[in-house]
């Protein structure tokens, strides 16, 4: 019995020790985070707002910051309804008030092409194509994401030609079949053996020398070829974001 009691005490001490180590490790983590990012913590304390679900944000309080910066980043927890409302409301506010005409999205450049086609035409097949193999799995069949783009389409159609905006894709290529479909629309013929990214890149580069391809389209195709290289090199997704922002 004494042996069992000693065993229980040792187990209790071990459990308490583990809990203490977790608290110490967490405390050290917070300390390091604050030391390395305290200027951002202070900024967020001075420039933050909390709004109850169902209420509207007052974006005007950030107008000075919006005016002083060329790039405005928005984060979200994927898969929830409310962030899509904020996303739409913020972009349309920035577009109206601050003439922001480019919407950088967490999609690749080919998916962005089909989202832009959807903005122009309202044809749901373009929206389906863009989101079918989206990296954000929670958004592929999520009605909130679909409705956000539907609202963006409606807003887009209300703009005159000088106020049209464009979606820019900066993510790593995600859908090989969609890339082939996009290139097929530009006149590339793929046979059954054209299955590798390298073969698709070869066809992409060859297309840039076509006399019917405009200089702007040629530039976009070279960017596509570069993004195919990122796939072949197994480039880190965050690094691809950075390279595509350049």
pLDDT at 106 over 70: yes
Which structure tokens are listed for 212?
């019917």
pLDDT of residue 1: 54
Task: Give the pLDDT confidence score for residue 100 in this predicted structure.
Answer: 95
Token pair in block for residue 234? 């197994």
Model confidence at 7, pLDDT cuts 50, 70, 90, reads low
DSSP 103: E
- Residue pLDDT, tens place only, 65-78: 899 998 898 888 88
CA 91 from chain centre, in angstroms, equals 14
- Mean residue pLDDT of the chain comes to 88
Chain segment 84-98, per-residue pLDDT in tens: 999 999 999 999 999
Q: What percent of the chain has pLDDT over 70?
A: 94
pTM of the model: 0.79
pLDDT at res. 50: 79
The burial class, CB within 10 Å (0-12 / 13-18 / 19+), for 183 is buried
């Amino acid at each position: 019995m004494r042996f069992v009691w000693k065993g229980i005490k040792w187990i209790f001490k071990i459990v308490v020790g583990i809990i203490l180590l977790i608290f110490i490790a967490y405390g050290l983590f917070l300390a390091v985070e604050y030391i390395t990012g305290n200027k951002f913590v202070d900024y967020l304390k001075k420039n933050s707002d909390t709004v109850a679900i169902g209420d509207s944000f007052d974006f005007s309080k950030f107008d000075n910051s919006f005016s002083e910066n060329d790039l405005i980043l928005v984060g979200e927890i994927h898969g929830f309804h409310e962030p899509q409302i904020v996303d739409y409301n913020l972009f349309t506010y920035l577009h109206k008030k601050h003439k922001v005409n480019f919407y950088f999205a967490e999609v690749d450049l080919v998916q962005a092409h089909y989202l832009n086609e959807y903005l122009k035409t309202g044809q749901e097949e373009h929206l389906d194509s863009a989101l079918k193999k989206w990296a954000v799995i929670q958004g592929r069949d999520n009605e909130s994401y679909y409705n956000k783009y539907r609202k963006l389409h409606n807003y887009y159609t209300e703009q005159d030609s000088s106020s049209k905006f464009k979606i820019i894709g900066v993510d790593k290529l995600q859908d090989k079949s969609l890339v082939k479909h996009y290139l097929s629309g530009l006149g590339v013929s793929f046979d059954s053996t054209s299955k590798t990214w390298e073969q698709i890149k070869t066809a992409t580069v060859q297309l840039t020398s076509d006399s019917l391809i405009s200089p702007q389209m040629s530039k976009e195709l070279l960017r596509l070829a570069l993004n195919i290289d990122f796939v072949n090199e197994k480039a880190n997704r965050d690094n691809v974001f950075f390279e595509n922002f350049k």
